[in-house]
A and B are shown apart, each in its own frame.
Chain A
């Protein structure tokens, strides 16, 4: 079978062997443990706390309500007492509003939660349930799912694409989910198909997960869902590249997947949708991979939103050797964390611990114009030229060179022999261009 792919990109060593054979384990939560639940775990307006210090909350209860359409509610991940509503250290390394819950160890469910048969619900009712459950994109981007499911009238959607690519090295959470809970994913896909009213659904899976491809193909048979095997190439899981690989369509520059008739959802999101609609369970847990050279026992965990990263690492035998860097998400696009006190969020697809020796410390050298970045760029722009213009403060020039089309996949920086942090310059350029456009 010929494997589908996109143009550009590269193939970093995937290091998935450390955790891909490990079954998902539940990361335990003991009585008295603190959960720090951030109020902004999604793209869009932060939610507003609706509980106060001293309140007792049950598992699944709403503790913060959404503000605006592009926003979702936040739920308590366990039962316990709210011990404070205050700014805490967040994913980005700065203090952000959070609700802190002290677990009572009982894990009592909120009895108001109930599931429903999606066949009896209208598309709008399903979308409401998805929103009320706080479902966001589980791949790490955390964009509210109900917004993605509500394309404007004039956009005709004919493809639902499921992202089971997991092209980030180290991460195996989606892989394990597909192996261990395919029915949950398929249930979610069927619900999403109904909401969007599409006939065609394709799950894209990279060829380095042959067991998942086989299992999903078997499980999907006769249910109107295809499985597309993809070449192992980074960033195969980037929305635009995935759509191109599976359908041959290009999302117009500056546009969204819906502009070419596609909606992309992560397989983890599909599973969460199924839980939310059929069982009434809000998004309070997720699967995350804990891995890296400085962790004793890499594992795949089912974690509670709000558990500090330190707890997850502790359950994996703790850190070993000299810890140099903590990464939330994958090594290509993940964000480095300031400390292990940072809580897990709905976007925590992985926690990677890198040893001191693995930290890239080479200083930036002059560009030698080797062209590696140009060949690796999946957006077909010239990263080094844009970086050069940005360095010189020539933002208009950078804009003309299509800086805004950068998807920040990091391929250019990964391959640059001069060790130029190209992606940082591109982000700088994009920031400056957005600021400039706002001014005009």
Chain B
């Protein structure tokens, strides 16, 4: 017995998962939606935006870590994932420099300044998107029509917002279009097809145990219930819950952004609260806020509440139940 053996603390076996594997799973889950997105908006332009977002994220992560003398972690896939999510949050016809800048902002401002993976309080992709939205409001709201690739500044959500703002009601001609919204006739809008691609991706993640059902269910559920209440009260002013679920970034947010490990609660109860908060805030911002879309802001707002949600939902430790018998 001359060989020096290994000794480590128990357990001596592991389930096999790694952070990098989970990140890869998220990327796989996004692939159908990415393919659809690229195809619908004319392949070349969206491909460039997607590629530059990913390059912006990965390059800035590598550069930052190189300068700070830290180990380079672009291999774990988290920067690439941020890039993909960021691209899906941008107009597919964005100028190339904006995609690059968004990637850099997402990684540097959203993640690395806080200490890198695991320490960022906010979802990096959403930070990138928000930086762009505030800095370049025109470019960030210049959308494209799917398939026809016409340039438009209108999205179903903004149409509703403007119309309700002007007249207090959803005019009949828009209402008539709302039915077709689910099939993707509007600017920036892939409709139900992409919705199902996202749901499928989300289910894959739940099946792979990368995420749990808590946040998507409570996010979508609360958004559905709240918008249904408004719709029931006044359907001429408020759009239907189905419209809300399948427009804007709700599905993407519910399955891929609000389930980001780092920036969301770790307790199951906390996850339910987090999801519900996101859903409610999204609908409130869409109906009453200044912006037509509220998914990004609601998730960022709830991100900031994560520490306190975690503290309030700390599970009751085993052995505190009053004895029976």
Which chain A residues have a beta carbon within 8 Å of chain B's beta carbons? 10, 12, 93, 169, 240, 244, 248-255, 260-261, 310, 323-327, 331-341, 352, 354, 359-362, 365-371, 374-375, 378-382, 384-385, 401-402, 405, 408, 410, 413-415, 417-419, 421, 423-424, 427
Partner of A419, one of B14, B261, B324: B14
User: Do B12 and A354 touch across chains, with their CB atoms under 8 A apart?
Assistant: yes
Say yes or no: B118 contacts A410, CB within 8 Å: no
Question: Which candidate, B3-11, B97-105, B149-157, is the interface stretch facing chain A?
Answer: B3-11
Q: How far is the CB of B18 from chain A (nearest CB, A)?
A: 5
B14 & A332 in contact (Cβ 8 Å cutoff): no
Chain B residues with CB below 8 A from A414, complex form: 11, 13-15
The residue that A253 contacts in the complex, of B212, B262, B317, with Cβ under 8 A, is: B317
* Option from B5, B17, B18, B314 in Cβ contact (under 8 Å) with A323: B5
Given known pairs A366-B119, A415-B15, the reply for A336 and B320 (CB within 8 Å) is no
- Per DSSP, chain A at the interface is loop
Known contacts A332-B13, A417-B17, A421-B8; A380 and B1 CB within 8 A of each other: no
In the assembled complex, the CB of B255 is this many whole angstroms from the nearest CB of chain A, namely 16
Q: Are B316 and A380 in contact (CB under 8 A)?
A: yes
The 9 A-B pairs at the shortest CB distance, nearest first, are namely A366-B118, A253-B319, A410-B11, A371-B266, A336-B7, A380-B315, A417-B17, A370-B261, A424-B9
**With a CB–CB cut-off of 8 A, which chain A residues contact B268?**
371, 374-375
The answer, yes or no, to whether B177 is at the interface (CB within 8 Å) is: no
A369 is contacted by which of B6, B13, B15, B262 (Cβ under 8 Å)? B262
A266 to B312 Cα, complex, angstroms = 39
Given contacts A249-B325, A324-B5, A380-B316, contact A332 B19 (CB under 8 A): no
11 further A-B pairs in the complex, CB-CB below 8 A; given A261-B325, A331-B12 = A250-B319, A324-B5, A327-B12, A339-B5, A359-B8, A359-B12, A365-B18, A368-B19, A371-B268, A401-B314, A423-B9
Q: Are the C-beta atoms of A93 and B7 separated by less than 8 Å? A: yes
Q: How far is the CB of A387 from chain B (nearest CB, A)?
A: 12
The answer to whether A360 and B12 touch (CB under 8 A), given A249-B324, A405-B317, is yes
Query: A371, B271: Cβ atoms under 8 Å?
Result: yes
Nearest-Cβ distance from residue A238 to partner chain B, whole angstroms? 10
Query: A240-B318, A405-B318 are contacts. A366–B10 as well, Cβ < 8 Å?
Result: no
Cβ of A402: which chain B residues have Cβ within 8 Å of it?
317
List residues of chain B with CB under 8 Å of any chain A CB.
1, 3, 5-15, 17-19, 21-22, 76, 116-119, 212, 261-268, 271, 310, 314-321, 323-325
* Chain A residues in 8 Å Cβ range of B7: 93, 325, 336-338
**Contact between chains at A12 and B13 (CB < 8 Å):** yes
- The CA of A12 and the CA of B22, in the complex, are separated in Å by 19
Write the nearest CB–CB distance from B276 to chain A, whole angstroms: 17
CA distance A402 to B266 in the complex (A): 16
Contacts of A339 on B, CB cut-off 8 Å? 1, 5
The docked-state distance in angstroms from the alpha carbon of A352 to that of B314 is 37
Q: Which residues of A sit under 8 angstroms from B263, Cβ to Cβ?
A: 369
CB-CB nearest in chain A for B7:
A336
> A336 contacts B3, CB within 8 Å?
no
CA distance A249 to B321 in the complex (A): 8
How far does the alpha carbon of A250 sit from the alpha carbon of B324 in the complex, in Å?
A: 9
**Chain B residues in 8 Å Cβ range of A261:** 325
Complex CA–CA separation, A93 to B76 (angstroms): 37
User: 16 A-B residue contacts at CB 8 Å?
Assistant: A12-B15, A252-B323, A326-B5, A359-B12, A360-B12, A365-B117, A367-B118, A368-B118, A371-B261, A374-B315, A382-B315, A408-B10, A413-B14, A414-B14, A419-B18, A423-B10
Cβ contacts under 8 Å, A415 to chain B: 15, 17
The CA of A240 and the CA of B262, in the complex, are separated in Å by 32
Taken together as a complex, chains A and B put the C-alpha atoms of A198 and B119 apart, in Å, by 54
Separation of A421 and B8 alpha carbons in the complex (Å): 9
- The chain A residue with its CB closest to the CB of B115 is A366
With beta carbons under 8 angstroms apart, the residue of A254, A327, A341, A375 that contacts B319 is A254
Residue pair A323, B319 in contact (C-beta under 8 Å) = no
Chain A contacts for B21, CB-based, 8 A: 417
Tell me whether A427 and B3 are in contact (CB under 8 A): no
Q: Which A-chain residue is minimally distant from B322 (CB atoms)?
A: A250
A380 CA / B317 CA spacing, docked (Å): 5
Question: Within the assembled complex, what's the spacing in Å between the Cα atoms of A337 and B323?
Answer: 41
Chain B min CB distance to A351 (Å): 13
Q: Distance in Å from the Cβ of B315 to the closest Cβ of chain A?
A: 4
If A249-B324, A369-B262, A417-B18 touch, does A333 touch B11 (CB 8 Å cutoff)? yes
